[in-house]
Amino acid sequence: MITENMGLVHSCAAKFKGKGIEYDDLFQAGCVGLIKAADGFDPDRGFAFSTYAVPVILGEIRRIFRDTGSVKVGRMLKEKSRAALLERERLTLLNDREPTLSELAAALNTDVQEAAMILNAAMPTVSLTVYEESGSAQLDIPVESHDSKIVDSLALQQVMSTLNERDRRIIELRYFKGLTQSKTAAQLGMSQVQVSRREKAILLDLRQKLT
């Protein structure tokens, strides 16, 4: 399972290239995440392995950026924050939703205030680079992470691969090439009504698989 899914690690690590950490280090962290995902994966839950593995891989890669942040967190608090993140992932998979702070505090055997402090310690640092330009201070604030887009893209590729050739072509022509239903019908030798009805059925199927 690990060797067959090394491509997931490369895909995730590539998204963080040029962010200040060597690619080899990103890839190594991603491999740790892949191993953890393989250990924790339960096929009986009905999820594809890639759907489960990608967030775990990304979590290990993000940990490098947290650990090398300019604001240092105490070792004991850092260990608690790692345990909290793992527990949050476990509860999310168990309940199919993000746990509340109260639920997480109960699982960690602590109060809500301490649980909030532990989670805050696990958050990535926002770097503010102050410099002077034309006599005024400027702030260089990093853009929001694209992790969710990576997960969505991989999930979409996976469910698209389950479609038959005609259905896949309908979605590709309509939503990737932006053709109208009439032009799509002409290319596939179908009527516009047939394309419309089939498109609705395909979108419903994809939505069910993605959720």
- The 10s digit of each residue's pLDDT in 85-112 is 888 888 888 888 878 878 888 888 888 7
Q: What is the pTM of this model?
A: 0.40
pLDDT mean over 34-59: 82
User: What would the pLDDT profile of 142-169 be if each residue is shown by its tens digit?
Assistant: 444 445 566 667 677 777 888 899 999 9
**Per-range mean pLDDT, top range of 31-45, 58-72, 106-120, 152-166:** 31-45
C-alpha 150, offset from chain centre: 5
Residue whose C-alpha is closest to residue 151's, from 7, 12, 9: 12
| pLDDT for residue 69 | 54
Residue 114 has pLDDT above 70, yes or no: yes
Radius of gyration of the chain (CA): 22
Mean pLDDT, the chain, integer: 78
Sketch out the chain's domains with CATH numbers.
3-140 (no CATH), 162-210 (1.10.10)
- 188 pLDDT band, cuts 50/70/90, is very high
